[in-house]
Structure 1
Amino acid sequence: MSASKSTSLVVCPVCEKSVPEWYVNDHLDHECKSAAAPATSPAVEENSSNSKTANKAKYLSLFASPKKSRKPTALPINTPASKKTRSNSTATEPVLIDDQEPPPQQQAKKHPAVELSKLSVSEQQKQGSYLSDAASLDMEKRLRNTRLPLAERLRPLTLDTFVGQTDLVGPSGVLRILIENDRICSCIFWGSPGLGKTTLARIIAYRTNSAFKEMSAVTQNIADVKKAIEEAGNLSRLANKRTIIFLDEIHRFSKAQQDVFLPHLERGQVILIGATTENPSFKLNGALLSRCRVFKLDPLTEQDIEKITKRAIDLKSHDRDTTQLANVEQGVEKYIAGISNGDARVAINIVDIAMNSLSPGDSLDLDCIRRALQRTHVFYGADEHYDLISALHKSVRGGDANAALYWLGRMLQGGDDPLYVARRLVRMASEDIGLADNHALPLAMSTLHACQAIGMPECDTILAHCVVYLARAPKSVESYKAFSNVKALLETEQPWPVPMHIRNAPTWMMKEMGYGDGYKYNPDFDGPVDQSYMPDAIRDHNFFDERYRTNKK
C-alpha cells in the first residue's frame, strides 16, 4: 500500500468518522450501516441531518474536477452594492474587468439578448427561453466582453434564439422535445463546421439537471475521459445524479479508443454527446453507434445566415458609438450569406473583420465586405470528396459536359489529388463509354500519364479535356453489364470444371487422360465451328443483354 493512500483521510458524510479516501466506499457500504444511532430529540435529529447533508456535499466536492482559479462572486452590473465593493477594494482584492461599468453610451443601448437575460423566470418560461440566474449573467457578460471572438459572444443559450435545424429543434423537433423534457439520450451531432453542434451541447448544459462535462478529443486523451467517467460513477452512487459528457471532435479518437465508452453507456453510467465533422459510419465504432442516436445537422440556408449576420452587425454596432457608423448598405447580409457556404462562423468572422476596418463615418457596404473577404480555402472533408467524385462520374455518364466541368473544378479547388481524378476517368472510359468508342480508354490513360508527368496546376486543362471528351462520347455499358452478370453467377454457382476438349495437354500423361480430345482448331475450318466453350451445366447461359448493345449518347 502506498503512503499516499494510507495518509489521505476524508470525513464520512454519515457517521463523521475520518477514514482513508481509498476505503470510504467500503466504509459507507458496511461499517456505517452497523453503527448505532444515538437517541436524540427531533430538533437535534434535524440538525444532525443537516450536518450530514453538508458533510455529504463536502465529500462529493472531492470528486469534482479541480478548478484552476477561484472565480470571484459576480455582482449585478450598475448596482449600488457593486459600486461600493469596487470603491472599497484593495490592491490584494483585484476587481474583475468584466464587472466594470460600461461607458454611458453603452448603458442606454440594450441588446435583445441582454434584455432576455433580465426577464423574470416566469416570463422566460412563457417564452420558452428559460435561463437560470447564472446563465443570464453569463450571457450578459459574454455579450459585453469585446475581447472574446464575436462568434463566441453571439452563441445562443436557448433553443428559441438558435438559428437553423428546424427539423431537429423546431417546435415539433425531436431534439427539442428531448432537451426541454431533460430526457436527452446518448447521441452524435454530425455536420460541417459552423452549424451549431457545440452550441446545442451548451444549450443542453444549461437546461439539464445532470452534471455536464465538456471535453475535446483534440486537447484531451483517454486518461481524461476515464477520469470523467469515474467521477460520473461516484456522483451516480452518492447523489443519484447522472452525468452528460460532451466530446467535441470525437472522430479524433481511434475506434479502439472509442471502446472506453461502451460498458458505461451500456450500464447508463454516463450519457455521451459527441460532435464530429466526419461521417460517423466511417469514423466511429460500430458498437458505439449502436448505442447512440445520430443527428445530422444540415447546412444553414441563406435566410438563416442573413439572420445571424444581422445579429452580428447589431452587436458590433452596439460595441461602438452608432454615430460613427453612417449606415449599412442594403444587400450586405444577403451577399455575406451567399459566400458563407452555409457556415455561420464564416459569416460572423466576415462581419467582425469588415466592421473593425471601418473608420468613423464610414458605411458598411459591399466594397468593404469584399476588401475584408479573403477566401483562401473551402471546406473539403471526406464526405465532400466522395460526393463530388460521384457527381462528376454521374455527369459524365449522363453526357452533361457542363456539369462535369463544374464538379471537376470543385474537386481541384478543394485540393483533391489530380491523379485520383485521372484514375477515375480511366474507369469511366471503360465502364461507361466502353465499346461505343474504343479511343476513350487510350485518351484516359494518356491523361493519367500526363498528370503524373507535369502535376498541378498545369494538368488541370488536361483533365478538363478528358472530362469533356468522355461526357460527349457515345456510351455503351455492354461489357460492363456482361461482366457484372458473370460475377453474380460466380457468387451463386459452384466452380464448374473446364470441359476436357478445351483443356491444355502439354505432357503425354495428360494426353492419355483425354485432355484436349475432340478440340477443333478453328483456322482449319472454312466456316463456323460447332463447338462449346462453356461448362456443360451452364452451356446455354448468356451474360449479354440485348438492351445494352445499342450505343447511347
Structure 2
Amino acid sequence: MDLFDIQKEREAPDHVPLAERMRPKSLDELMGQDHVTGSGGLIRQAVEKDRIFSMILWGPPGCGKTTLARIIARQTRSHFLQFSAVLSGVKEIRAVIDEARVQRLSGKKTVLFVDEIHRFNKAQQDAFLHHVESGLITLIGATTENPSFEVIPPLLSRCRVITLKALSEKAIGRIIDRALSDDQAVLAKMGMLLEPEARNHLIRIADGDARSALNGLELAASVVLPQTQGSKTENRIIIRIKDLEQSLQKKALLYDKTGEEHYNLISALHKSLRGSDPDAAIYWLARMLAAGEDPLYIARRMIRFAAEDIGCADPQALTLAVNAMEAFKFIGPPEGELALVEAVVYLATSPKSNSLYTAYSKARKAIQETGALPVPLHIRNAPTPLMEALGYGKGYRYAHDFENAVVDQNYLPEPLKGRRFYYPTGRGHEATIRKRLETWQALLKTGQKDPKEDT
C-alpha cells in the first residue's frame, strides 16, 4: 500500500461506496473478530511483533477478510497487492512476483492478498508455492469455502488457516451506528436518522454480513426524500421500516452456489429424504430454489439419491426422478418446479435401502485388495479357433437349459469364489428379490442335472 493509496482512502469521496468509505483502518476498528484481533489474539500478536505469516482467511461474506488483509499490510508497513482469483491467471501471478522482487530491493515486504483463492486451479496455486516458502511474499488468501477442500495440500501446509466468524447482530448494529455518525461524505453530513424498527430490520436482513448492511443502508438513504420531523422542518433523511423494505424489496438469501452453504443445503435435502421426512425435504428444496440454485443440479442429486438410498426397494423411484428432471426441462420454471416437488415427496416416502451402494463399495474394495484378477476361462468369449483351443468358454453352462434358468456355476474370479456383495433388505421390492435369491439358493443345493447329459 503506497502513499497514493492512503491518500485515496482519506479522501473517501461520496461516489465511493459506503462500505468502502467505512472500511476499518486498524485492528481496533475491526469488529466481530476479537478471537484473532483482540488482546492476545494471534493476528494482533503477529502484527504488533511485525512477524506476519502466510494465511488463509476462511469466513462468510462480509465478515472482514479483505479489510483484515489491508490492515495487516498497513500496520506492518508492507507493500499491499490485491489479486483476484477470478480475473487473473499464471501470467498475472508472475507480474506480481516481479513487483514483489522490486519491493524487496528497497527493503519492503510484500503482502499479496488473493481474493476467492478457492477459484484458483492447481497450476495457479502451484505458482505461489516457491515464493511463499522463500518469503518473497506473505500470502493472504480469502475464501468462503472450506480450504481443506479447495486449496492444494502443499500450499495449505505453508499457510495458517484463520477462521473468521459471521458478525453478530450487536457488531452489525455498531457498524450501522458508526456509519450514521462518522460518514462525513454523505450520511452524517446529511444528518440521516434511522428509526429503531428500521435499524433492527436492517440488522436482521444483513445476516452477519457488514457489507450487506452498509449497502442496504446506502440504498435506503439514496431513495428516500428529505422528511419533516416534529414542528421543525429540516433537510434530514429519516429512514423508516417501510422505506427500508421498499428500497431493499426483500432479503436476498445468503447463498454461494459453489461455496460451503451450497453443500450444507444439498446435504440437508439429502438427509431429509433419507430420513423419510417429506416436509423437511420440501422445505430444503424450496430454500435452494428461492436462493437461485440450478433446479437441474437438484434434479441430478435426486437421481443419485434414488439409486443410492432407495435402489431396488422401489425401482420406480429412479424412473420418477429422471422423469422429474425431464419434465422440468420441458416446462421450465416456475411451473416445472412442481415436478421436483413431486419427486421429493415420492423419494422421501419410498422404502429405503442402501444395499446397492454397499454392494458396489464392497466390490470396489475387493478390486483394490486383489487387483485385476483374470476372468475365469469358462465364461470367456471364444470367437476364434485359437481362443477355443486355449480353453476359452470350455465348461460353460447355459442357464436357460436349466430349471428356472438357474445354474450352479461360478462367475467370479477363482480367489473370490463364493463372495457376496449384494444383500437385499426386507423392505419394499427388495423383500421380493431376497425371497427369490433364497429360492434359487435352495434349488441349487438340491443338485442339478445337466440337460446335455441326456443327449
Q: TM-score, normalised by structure 2?
A: 0.77
Deviation at 1:314, TM superposition (A): 3.6
Secondary structure in 1 aligned to 2:161? strand
1:153 corresponds to: 21
Deviation at 1:280, TM superposition (A): 4.4
- Structure 2 counterpart of 1:156, which letter? P
1:266 corresponds to which of 128, 133, 139 = 133
Secondary structure in 2 aligned to 1:269? coil
1:424 and 2:311 matched: no
1:371 and 2:242 matched: no
Identity of aligned residues (%): 44
- Structure 1 counterpart of 2:173, which letter? E
Query: 2: distance between equivalents of 1:262 and 1:514?
Result: 57
TM-align CA RMSD = 3.4
Secondary structure in 2 aligned to 1:473? coil
- Structure 1 counterpart of 2:241, which letter? L
Distance change (3 Å), C-alpha of 1:484 and 1:358? same
Query: 2: distance between equivalents of 1:505 and 1:311?
Result: 83
Secondary structure in 1 aligned to 2:52? coil
1:531 corresponds to: 409
Map 1:196-207 to 2 at 5 A: 196-207=64-75
Q: Deviations over 1:18-66 (max 9, x none)?
A: xxxxxxxxxxxxxxxxxxxxxxxxxxxxxxxxxxxxxxxxxxxxxx979
2:59 corresponds to: 191
1:231 corresponds to which of 102, 108, 124 = 102
Q: Deviations over 1:293-312 (max 9, x none)?
A: 23232322333323322333
Deviation at 1:373, TM superposition (A): 0.8
Map 1:313-352 to 2 at 5 A: 313-315=180-182, 318-321=188-191, 325=193, 328-352=194-218
1:459 and 2:325 matched: no
Structure 2 runs not aligned, ≥5 long: 230-237, 431-455
Deviation at 1:422, TM superposition (A): 1.6
Query: 1: distance between equivalents of 2:51 and 2:415?
Result: 62
Distance change (3 Å), C-alpha of 1:251 and 1:424? closer
- Which deviates more, 427-436 or 257-266? 257-266
Map 1:403-482 to 2 at 5 A: 403-482=280-359
Query: 1: distance between equivalents of 2:386 and 2:132?
Result: 67
- Structure 1 counterpart of 2:190, which letter? R
- Structure 2 counterpart of 1:348, which letter? L
1:355 and 2:240 matched: no
Distance change (3 Å), C-alpha of 1:212 and 1:519? closer
Deviation at 1:247, TM superposition (A): 4.1
Distance change (3 Å), C-alpha of 1:270 and 1:515? closer
Tell me, yes or no, if the aligned pair for 2:220 and 2:244 is still in contact at 8 Å: yes
Query: 1: distance between equivalents of 2:168 and 2:118?
Result: 26
Distance change (3 Å), C-alpha of 1:222 and 1:65? farther
- Structure 1 counterpart of 2:246, which letter? R
Deviation at 1:488, TM superposition (A): 0.8
Deviation at 1:281, TM superposition (A): 5.0
Deviation at 1:367, TM superposition (A): 1.1
1:388 corresponds to: 265
Query: 1: distance between equivalents of 2:122 and 2:415?
Result: 47
Query: 2: distance between equivalents of 1:65 and 1:309?
Result: 29
Secondary structure in 2 aligned to 1:382? coil
2:162 corresponds to: 295
Tell me, yes or no, if the aligned pair for 2:2 and 2:79 is still in contact at 8 Å: no
Deviation at 1:436, TM superposition (A): 1.5
Deviation at 1:278, TM superposition (A): 5.4
Distance change (3 Å), C-alpha of 1:409 and 1:185? same
- Structure 1 counterpart of 2:113, which letter? F
1:180 corresponds to which of 27, 48, 54 = 48
Query: 2: distance between equivalents of 1:519 and 1:343?
Result: 69
Tell me, yes or no, if the aligned pair for 1:476 and 1:549 is still in contact at 8 Å: no
Distance change (3 Å), C-alpha of 1:202 and 1:545? same
Tell me, yes or no, if the aligned pair for 2:81 and 2:110 is still in contact at 8 Å: no
Secondary structure in 2 aligned to 1:214? strand
Distance change (3 Å), C-alpha of 1:201 and 1:499? closer
Distance change (3 Å), C-alpha of 1:449 and 1:65? same
Distance change (3 Å), C-alpha of 1:250 and 1:445? closer
- Structure 1 counterpart of 2:140, which letter? I
Q: Deviations over 1:157-199 (max 9, x none)?
A: 2323321134322444322322232221012223343211121
Tell me, yes or no, if the aligned pair for 1:216 and 1:249 is still in contact at 8 Å: no
- Which deviates more, 493-502 or 364-373? 493-502
- Structure 1 counterpart of 2:218, which letter? D
Distance change (3 Å), C-alpha of 1:539 and 1:297? same
Deviation at 1:491, TM superposition (A): 0.9
Tell me, yes or no, if the aligned pair for 1:146 and 1:319 is still in contact at 8 Å: no
1:120 corresponds to: none
Deviation at 1:285, TM superposition (A): 5.3
Q: Deviations over 1:61-94 (max 9, x none)?
A: xxx97969x97xxxxxxxxxxxxxxxxxxxxxxx
Distance change (3 Å), C-alpha of 1:292 and 1:407? same
Tell me, yes or no, if the aligned pair for 1:258 and 1:285 is still in contact at 8 Å: yes
Query: 2: distance between equivalents of 1:500 and 1:223?
Result: 58
Distance change (3 Å), C-alpha of 1:515 and 1:353? closer
Q: Deviations over 1:236-272 (max 9, x none)?
A: 3xxxx53333344556666545555433322223322
Secondary structure in 1 aligned to 2:81? strand
Secondary structure in 1 aligned to 2:362? helix
- Structure 1 counterpart of 2:59, which letter? G
Query: 2: distance between equivalents of 1:261 and 1:532?
Result: 55
- Structure 2 counterpart of 1:337, which letter? I
Larger Rg: 1
1:306 corresponds to: 173
1:163 corresponds to which of 27, 31, 37 = 31
Q: TM-score, normalised by structure 1?
A: 0.65
Q: How many residues align?
A: 410
- Structure 1 counterpart of 2:205, which letter? I
| Structure with the larger RCO, 1 or 2 (CA within 8 Å, 6+ apart) | 2
Query: 1: distance between equivalents of 2:313 and 2:166?
Result: 41
1:542 corresponds to which of 413, 420, 443 = 420
